[in-house]
Amino acid sequence: MTKKYILKPGKHQFAPGSHPAHHNDNLTDPEAEWYLERYPHIATLFEQTPEPESKESTQTESSKKQSVKSTQKSVQSNNNEDLSTTN
């Protein structure tokens, strides 16, 4: 079975104040996922982390907001086109 989470060479410290004790021989994928959830800064200690499984989950919060804003602008434009002009 291939591991999804491969650490860079050497021993690494994950939690603040803990000893550098983690390496590829003693770290399982479920443990790595647990640590990454709690200490996202440790992602740089890995050779690479797996890609998210779906494109939907990779969409960032800012791009979601941008998408909503552009939709709102389109709706406003359509509403204004139906208004009659009076001077």
For residue 62, pLDDT over 60 is answered with no
Q: Is residue 26 part of a domain?
A: yes
- 24-46: pLDDT as tens digits: 999 999 999 999 999 999 999 99
Q: Is residue 11 part of a domain?
A: yes
- 12-23: pLDDT as tens digits: 999 888 999 999
Q: Is residue 67 part of a domain?
A: no
Name the residue range of residue 15's domain. 1-51
Q: Is residue 43 part of a domain?
A: yes
Q: Is residue 63 part of a domain?
A: no
CA distance 15 to 39: 7
| Phi, psi at 44, each rounded to 5° | -70, -15
Q: Is residue 3 part of a domain?
A: yes
Q: Is residue 71 part of a domain?
A: no
As for how many domains the chain has, the answer is: 1
Q: Is residue 86 part of a domain?
A: no
CA distance 12 to 71: 46
